[in-house]
Structure 1
């Protein structure tokens, strides 16, 4: 078996078309959309991501204003964007300070402008599997853009059932790395859609039990190690940001699995493509499309500027 390599760019293009139409609709109402991106680095992954994001946003008619800041100025820069009526969204390109400082900055972003979906307001709704903000179910909750991109790619790879509230029922997934930005919310989103998820991290394994027969997923301690988790998984998603990570090898993976590489440095050995059914080598283009879609939803839910 040789894996089909799923390029995220065509999937992202379809979502960009949808976003472009929504942006045009808002423009016809006299509303242009503007995002502020805060960045502290001129080189490296954050700078590269910011350049791609700027092109992606501008492609759908959204202005992305990249602003340089420092660790000392970052908090004031977030506050200024929050209170600026001409700013519809805020994007933070990490690192801006240190790990603790960046976590605090995420909490300072106005949730109504949080295109990344990383504020705890959105996190609470995600972990409680609450999909709408209002009782009338007219305003959708915002989901973190990278995990959301992964779910859309799994759908494009053909991984879904006919059950509306449990499209991943019967699926076993393995998510390697339990970061607050990608791994943890992704495991929760998969489980909320009906999958059983083995979450592997340096702090030990956890299992996210599916939200079937209950409102939201459940998390329990687990003794499922890497070998067992990979052998069981219909889906393997790895997001370890380290060159020292022991690559996932073909002999570890269940034949016919879908494998998704979210990491800055590849997390999969070439041999995986000899065993997997579908291999997704990156998610970046779709992450940017999901952030743009989040912005449109946030802007649509807010009152027009006076």
Structure 2
């Protein structure tokens, strides 16, 4: 009788991440000859944010468990960070670089994101990668040998949706979300907006929710465009939120507030619900309505970060093979 009262399933990030961590271990084994001690990931921490400290701990633990060396470089003086990142860009032993934000907590943080060399940017925050994401360009070269890097958390959510079979692999590549409606409760430049663009570029209709307004990301009727377009649906209201949410196959939350809860009654029966906030944005009652519920995504995000680093190594190796020696 209890199985009838809760028809859906709660899926833990750890079970999803395992698919990718197994892949990472295999690829690291292939690198043993040239990197006997494993690749090196360097994290830069210049704040006292407990969430950043926890993220750094998780990253180190996961990296080392998979055979990746991890080095955390701490800074009391934030003004020393820029030069140190530039030095790491030029260190041959460093394969990947990440920064734990916020540092300054303002536009200067966006500048720091661009200081990291795109060849070592495991977080996928470099402007080249962002431009490719928004324009639905999936490779760095015309020959389509060098894959572009995607930001870790948006990529993690895409991989979660693939794991949950929300993506329809029977459809042509690039259109796997055709026919799906998604809602993203967050429009930050780091996660929410790029995530909405990614999902729309894969064929979905995406409602992007911000405290000020609601936007619709779509590739047009019958996905006629090569990249997403954005339509402003006007000011945010609870009535609009409820009406749109009840149309959606997928609801994704990322509100950085302990007090925020997405109203369970807005969730359509059988929808898929995913939360990427470090706080629980859904009440436990959502398990009675959602067919699939992923309460946290952190472990998949870290797996994507490490996967990105291996892709950067692969891209560098391909470039070195193409560059004739003197």
Short-chain TM bin: over 0.9
In the alignment, what sits opposite 1:166? 175
State the Cα distance separating 1:43 from its structure 2 match.
5.6
TM-score normalized with structure 2 length:
0.89
- Is 1:34–1:64's contact at 8 Å kept on the other side of the alignment? yes
Distance (Å, rounded) in 1 between the aligned partners of 2:73 and 2:60: 12
State the Cα distance separating 1:30 from its structure 2 match.
4.2
3-state DSSP of counterpart to 1:66: strand
Structure 2: runs of 5+ lacking an equivalent: none
The partner residue of 1:275 within 261, 265, 289 is 289
3-state DSSP of counterpart to 1:67: strand
Distance (Å, rounded) in 2 between the aligned partners of 1:16 and 1:259: 23
- Is 1:19–1:60's contact at 8 Å kept on the other side of the alignment? yes
In the alignment, what sits opposite 1:49? 55
How many aligned residue pairs are there? 305
The partner residue of 2:32 within 23, 27, 37 is 27
In the alignment, what sits opposite 2:123? 116
In the alignment, what sits opposite 1:243? 258
- Is 1:177–1:201's contact at 8 Å kept on the other side of the alignment? yes
Q: Over residues 233-278 of structure 1, what are the superposed CA-to-partner deviations in whole Å (9 max), with x where a residue is unaligned?
A: 1100010112243x11221111110000111111112221111111
Q: Over residues 52-71 of structure 1, what are the superposed CA-to-partner deviations in whole Å (9 max), with x where a residue is unaligned?
A: 11111112211111010132
Distance (Å, rounded) in 2 between the aligned partners of 1:269 and 1:99: 32
Structure 1 residue 228 corresponds to structure 2 residue 265? no
Structure 1 or 2, whichever has the larger Rg, is 2
3-state DSSP of counterpart to 1:205: strand
- Is 1:190–1:197's contact at 8 Å kept on the other side of the alignment? yes
Distance (Å, rounded) in 1 between the aligned partners of 2:30 and 2:161: 29
Distance (Å, rounded) in 1 between the aligned partners of 2:233 and 2:129: 27
State the Cα distance separating 1:124 from its structure 2 match.
0.3
Structure 1: runs of 5+ lacking an equivalent: none
Structure 1 residue 82 corresponds to structure 2 residue 89? yes
3-state DSSP of counterpart to 1:27: coil
In the alignment, what sits opposite 1:286? 300
Distance (Å, rounded) in 2 between the aligned partners of 1:30 and 1:181: 31
TM-score normalized with structure 1 length:
0.95
Structure 1 residue 66 corresponds to structure 2 residue 72? yes
The partner residue of 1:262 within 272, 276, 279 is 276
Structure 1 residue 217 corresponds to structure 2 residue 224? no
- Is 2:123–2:152's contact at 8 Å kept on the other side of the alignment? yes
- Is 1:249–1:271's contact at 8 Å kept on the other side of the alignment? no
Structure 1 residue 143 corresponds to structure 2 residue 150? yes
